[in-house]
Amino acid sequence: MTELTAKPDLRPANPNFSSGPCSKRPGWSLDQLADAPLGRSHRAKPGKAKLAEAIDLTRKVLNVPANYRIGIVPASDTGAVEMALWSLLGARGVDMLAWESFGSGWVTDVIKQLKLDNARVLEAPYGTLPDLSEVNFANDVVFTWNGTTSGVRVPNGDWIPASREGLTICDATSAAFAQDLAFDKLDVVTFSWQKVLGGEAAHGVLILSPRAVERLESHTPAWPMPKIFRLTKGGKLIEGIFKGETINTPSMLCVEDYLDALKWADGLGGLTALRARADNNLKVLADWVARTDWVDFLAEDPAIRSNTSVCLKVTDPGIQALSADDQAAFAKGLAGALDAEGVAYDIGAYRDAPSGLRIWAGATVEASDLEALTAWLDWAYQAQKAKLPQAT
């Protein structure tokens, strides 16, 4: 049996490395939410003011162009994406890009729910991207900027032409606040508060370019539109949605929490500072991977490697020789051992992804905690391998 080294002395101060909901910002406490207008209508002046402030701060921190609308919508990023798909598609063909589970979910929506027969699907295995040069921008294009379950992101917005005919609809939920989004190349951007800023769940943000607004006001979908998805009335955009007049009742406690995160981000220096924190966190993990012989990134190409949802695979030849089920059990054992020690929670690979680990490295995570985690990852690997037959 493999001799097990001693447990590391240093533990992460914050063991929360979940990829959503993600870790709260450093220094967060419930006391920060004391100003939430609880028990008040979100349509009363205090509630509307909070929602408008959240929209304004989102614009400031994300560097959203002044002529883009920002709305707070229900049902997290999923609600925001589906609102865009149901409201905007059908006017022309659509290219669907999928290289992980959430992108594949949007393909299901378009093919099986909206039943668009002019949809084209460009797929790639986990860890890679489709050939972006094959995208037809005469069509609408739907894609994730950062694949949360694969650790793969698009390198930039250069592959999107400024002269595109169709709309670009971008699920940016694990990219917003950690990566540069090319808003001049994006017509719809969606995200949820619970990712990079560590906000509470159930609310989404929908950002629309002038081109997207024009489509909304000129195109009537062929399918019934649920009330919760309706962005227009009488052929005109419902402007109130983009001023804080939400479609349904939001949690003002969650709004207050989002405001706290936005103010923290703004105080750090905005998007530049947030991106630097995430990049530095990725470097901590990349340096560890470079000196470690049993693990590698699922995204082998550094140019498309996420700095938030870092997905890892076990490359030990002995583990690779096991059956797929036994490999999955080994990776699950790694995550379970760290959970039991209280040093890392929720770092198993996503259920639809290849077996391995997924470690959140977004801006609310401290680099020192990731440094401490790497020693524990090595310990957990040895502990799990020691349980296998010696031949492995």
Name the residue ranges covered by the structural domains of the chain: 39-267, 270-385
pLDDT over threshold 70, residue 392 = no
Return d(Cα 184, Cα 219) in angstroms, integer.
22
pLDDT one-digit tens code per residue, 274-307: 999 999 999 999 999 999 999 999 999 999 999 9
Q: Which of these, 244, 220, 240, lies nearest to 86 by C-alpha position? A: 220
- pLDDT score at 140: 98
Mean pLDDT of 250-279: 98
pLDDT one-digit tens code per residue, 223-241: 999 999 999 999 999 999 9
pLDDT over threshold 70, residue 334 = yes
**What would the two tokens of residue 141 be?**
């294009």
Instruction: Please give the DSSP secondary-structure letter assigned to residue 75.
Output: S
Q: Mean of the per-residue pLDDT values for the chain?
A: 97
pLDDT over threshold 80, residue 4 = no
User: Domain 270-385, what fold?
Assistant: Aspartate Aminotransferase, domain 1 (3.90.1150)
**What would the two tokens of residue 26 be?**
């450093």
Return d(Cα 83, Cα 93) in angstroms, integer.
18
120 strand-pairing partners: 95
Q: Which of these, 257, 245, 258, lies nearest to 52 by C-alpha position? A: 245
Q: Which CATH number fits domain 39-267: 3.40.50.2000, 3.30.1120.10, 3.20.20.70, 3.40.640.10?
A: 3.40.640.10
- pLDDT score at 39: 97
- pLDDT score at 389: 85
* Percentage of the chain exceeding pLDDT 70: 98
Return d(Cα 109, Cα 13) in angstroms, integer.
41
pLDDT one-digit tens code per residue, 140-187: 999 999 999 999 999 999 999 999 999 999 999 999 999 999 999 999
- pLDDT score at 391: 47
Mean pLDDT of 255-263: 98
- pLDDT score at 1: 45
- pLDDT score at 3: 60
pLDDT over threshold 80, residue 267 = yes
Return d(Cα 21, Cα 196) in angstroms, integer.
9
Return d(Cα 107, Cα 142) in angstroms, integer.
9
Mean pLDDT of 193-199: 97
Q: What are the residues whose beta carbons fall under 8 Å from the beta carbon of 242, sequence distance 6 or more?
A: 55, 69, 70, 71, 208
- pLDDT score at 5: 75
